[in-house]
Chain A
Amino acid sequence: MKKTSKFLTSSSILGFLFLYAPIVSLIVYSFNSSKLVTIWGGWSIKWYGKLFENEQIIEAAMLSFKIAFITSCLAVILGTMAGFVLARMGRFKGKMILSGWISAPLVMPEVITGLSLLLLFVALENTFGWPAGRGTNTIIIAHTTFCLAYVAVIVQSRLSMLDETLEEAAMDLGAKPSSLFFLVTMPLIAPALVSGWLLSFTLSLDDLVIASFVSGPGSSTLPMVIYSKVRMGVTPEINALATLMILIVALGVVAAMVIMKRQHRLNKELKE
């Protein structure tokens, strides 16, 4: 191994510090007993207790979890279809357009997506009477639309890494297209489906801008409640909430990566 230069190492260390220092400081301050968020008053977990007494936050969290769950299931189904179409179905009319519609939502500024979906929902309601009013359903549709793009990209790249011989073998042995997919392709791309589902879940759970546009009265998601509270400044309760959410996600990501690595190793051994 060649020695890496001092410049490279030190600038990378600074980079990682930059990535983690604010998160660590937020976690530490969530255990601050003082109500003044910037002055250290000793260790305490009282803000966590306060957090669970806050009905508005609990209610919003429940709604957000529900939306995120339904969204990620829908996004995995639709996104897998889209990724499969792009990776395995060869060329067809409109393929380029479909692939454009899949990559564009990944970078589209959220304010544009949010406003355009809201105006669509309003126009649809005026013309067809559906969706009647806005709320949970419209948020789920909006979230599914951008999450399915992420799932499609993940599934597509996973499929393009797999060699097609297994699927061809199954076809030669007479598998129907549907059983080919469910019995051969799906188990092979299972890690992609899991990470697509998890990514959709966290993206949906996190979205403030799009949800603010397409939600209706009475359906405030967790990020909407957080935003309305933090606009005015830092509060110890939100510090506690943020710590919980960050820890849950970090644990989830680490677990997922460990599982995927093990899976990867297993696949390698199988091949050998």
Chain B
Amino acid sequence: MSTLSLTTSIVDATGRMLAKYTPREKINWGRLGVISVPSVWLFVFFFVPFLVVFKISFAESEIAIPPYSDLMNWDAEDTFLSIKLSLANYIFLFEDALYLDAYWSSVKIAGVATIITLIVAFPMAYLIARSEPNKRNLLLMLVVVPFWTSFLLRIYAWMGFLNKNGLINQGLMAIGIIDEPLIMMQTDFAVYIGIVYAYLPLMILPLYTALEKMDMTLIEAASDLGATPTQSFIKITLPLAVPGIIAGCMLVFIPAVGEFVIPSLLGGSDTLMIGRVLWDEFFQNRDWPMAAAVATVMLVMLLLPIMLVSDGQDKKEEA
């Protein structure tokens, strides 16, 4: 879909350019400048870096500065150019169970957390979309404020909250539900909580946008025709919310797969997530080529969902 629309747009644009820029016409330098400044910046600092990562994933780790081997060697005497690509990183990545397990468990954790986030967010978004304008603004603000406050500190807040002696355990013990404090910190449970918590606003906002546009008379019509609330929810509300659901899920799932802060602060040593593996590969083992290979595979894995987000953005723009 995206490639198709890309091709058509390029063809279209070229046609327009040819039609517009007859030789007599001067090039509009101002327009060109405004287009090229941000484009060049993003090309150099967003696109090229991926090529560099891809390249270095074929290097070998070395004890040097920088700690990787050169891919190309130019022997001036023999005028001999040798290119050495090492596939060792990728072979290791697919043979060592650690990496595959980490990819799988990241996708699993991020996927489950995304679904929980959706379930928590939906009634909130629905309530906000259906409430009176004044109340709606207040509720939206309550959703947005945590989104603006520090991600790191919000995760940190849960460290104290989930602690063995933290408020949850103290509260539960005070009302006599449990006798012994629950171990919640440094478990996968804490990681799920952290992801749902940190990304909840990112799910609520697109859901709200989709639900707000919904025409309430549809629901009334359905109930007049004898639909139960459940039926009209499944047949009307849910399908109309689909764009919001997709957008929200992508906004949560993609960054959650590569999440580092949450598993490192709330997870246990056995919580395997690929963002953490990459971090350790880079900072602890100082194996830059391996880290690059891990990043390349992660990027390939996430390419499809990322393109889905871009596509949604384009559609919104055209609408």
Q: Are A and B co-members of a single complex? A: yes
Bound state CA distance, A223 and B6, in angstroms?
A: 39
Q: Pick the residue among B152, B282, B295 that contacts A206 (CB under 8 A).
A: B152
Contact with B along A182-199 (1 / 0, CB 8 A): 000000000000000001
Instruction: Answer whether residue A103 sits at the interface, using C-beta atoms and an 8 A cutoff.
Output: yes
Number of A-B contacts (CB under 8 A): 277
Binding site for A on B (CB under 8 A): 5-6, 9-10, 12-14, 16-17, 30-31, 34-35, 37-39, 41-43, 45-50, 52-53, 56, 66, 120-121, 123-124, 126-128, 130-132, 137, 141-146, 148-154, 156-161, 163, 165-167, 170, 197, 200-201, 229, 250-251, 254-255, 257-261, 264-265, 275, 278-279, 282-283, 288, 291-292, 295, 298-299, 302, 305-307, 309-310, 313-314, 317
Q: What residues make up the interface of A, taking CB atoms closer than 8 Å to B?
A: 1-2, 4-5, 7-9, 11-12, 15-16, 18-23, 25-26, 29, 37-39, 78-79, 81-82, 84-87, 89, 91-113, 115-117, 119-120, 122-123, 126, 141-142, 144-145, 148, 152-153, 156, 160, 177-178, 199, 202, 205-206, 208-209, 212-213, 223, 226-227, 230-231, 233-234, 238-239, 242, 245-246, 249-250, 252-254, 257, 261
Question: In the complex, given contacts A141-B45, A199-B148, A206-B152, what are 9 additional A-B residue pairs having Cβ atoms less than 8 angstroms apart?
Answer: A12-B123, A12-B124, A23-B157, A113-B49, A115-B291, A177-B30, A234-B160, A234-B163, A252-B148
Residue of B nearest to A258 (CB): B141
Q: Does B156 lie within 8 Å of A120, measured CB to CB?
A: no
Q: Are A208 and B261 in contact (CB under 8 A)?
A: yes
Kindly report which residue of chain A lies nearest to residue B196, judged by CB atoms: A18
- A178 contacts B30, CB within 8 Å? yes
Interface centre among B10, B144, B145, B288 (most CB of A within 10 A): B145
Q: Are A156 and B317 in contact (CB under 8 A)?
A: yes
Nearest CB on A from B5, distance (A): 7
Residue of B with least CB distance to A29: B160
Quick check: A23 and B149 within 8 Å, CB to CB?
yes
Report Cα–Cα, A39/B170, bound state, in Å: 10
The complex places the Cα of A184 from the Cα of B34 at a distance, in Å, of 17
Query: Could you give 21 example pairs across A and B, Cβ below 8 Å?
Result: A16-B142, A19-B197, A26-B160, A26-B161, A92-B17, A96-B5, A104-B310, A106-B309, A109-B254, A110-B260, A112-B53, A116-B295, A117-B45, A142-B45, A148-B41, A202-B148, A205-B150, A234-B156, A234-B163, A242-B153, A249-B149
Cα of A106 to Cα of B34 in the assembled complex, Å: 22
How far, in Å, is A50 (CB) from chain B's closest CB?
17
Are B132 and A253 neighbours in the complex by a CB distance under 8 Å? no
Q: Which of B6, B148, B197, B261: most chain A Cβ within 10 A?
A: B148
Instruction: Output the least CB separation between B80 and chain A (Å).
Output: 21
Instruction: Given A26-B157, A239-B160, check contact A4 B130 (CB 8 Å).
Output: yes
Task: Give complex CA distance A99, B35 in Å.
Answer: 12
- B10 contacts A250, C-beta separation under 8 Å: no
Chain B residues with CB below 8 A from A208, complex form = 152, 261
Please name all residues of chain B whose beta carbon is closer than 8 Å to the beta carbon of A226 when the two chains form the complex: 152-153, 156
| Given A99-B314, A104-B306, residue A223 in contact with residue B279 (CB < 8 A) | no
Tell me which residues across on chain A come within 8 A of B295, comparing CB atoms: 111-112, 115-116
Q: Is there an interface contact between A18 and B160, defined as CB atoms closer than 8 Å?
A: no
A8 touching B299 in the complex, CB below 8 Å, given contacts A21-B161, A81-B38: no
Complex Cα–Cα for A109 and B278 (A): 11
CA separation between A11 and B310, bound complex, in Å? Answer: 32
Of B127, B157, B163, B197, which one neighbours A242 at CB under 8 angstroms? B157
Chain B positions within 8 Å of A93 at CB level: 10, 13-14, 17
